[in-house]
Amino acid sequence: MIPHVVYDTNVIVSATLKPGSIPSSLVALAMQGSVRLFLSPEILEEYREVLKRPKFGFEKGSVDTFLSELEKNGTVVFPTKRVSASLDEPDNRMLEAALEAKAHYIVTGNKKHFPFPEFEGAKIVSPAEFTAILME
């Protein structure tokens, strides 16, 4: 069974900043279809806004190309239910997408923003924990 997953923005940022890292390998798995990545228009917009911040130094064109590839290889969902379970408002968009997609996992490098081990059947895991699950 292919795991259904939502990647938090920090996973995407880490993947682009650190080629060869665990987050980078997780993005590669999504691009290859080994995991089914779910996105929403709001998540894509957050990825775009964060990756285009000047502090990261990414070229705007390369960010757009990367996100187009991610969208092409992922599955876009359109959540119909608003969620306010996380104190960090943008993280609620991750929860909404996971709920709509019936995702198995939400992968985040910032578990403190998700003060619960699972949400509506989606386990909240770190990139290292998700990698370990995939290797079982």
Query: Nearest 10 degrees: CA dihedral of 25, 87, 94, 65?
Result: -60
Tens of pLDDT along the chain (136 residues)?
899 999 999 999 999 999 999 999 999 999 999 999 999 999 999 999 999 999 999 999 999 999 999 999 999 999 999 999 998 899 999 999 999 999 999 999 999 889 899 999 999 999 999 999 999 8
Q: How many domains are contained in the chain?
A: 1
**Dihedral sign (CA 61, 63, 66, 71):** negative
Domain coverage including residue 56: 4-135
**CATH label of the domain that carries residue 34:** 3.40.50.1010
Reported pTM: 0.96
Extract the runs of DSSP E, i.e. beta strands, from the chain: 4-7, 36-39, 75-76, 105-107, 118-119, 122-125
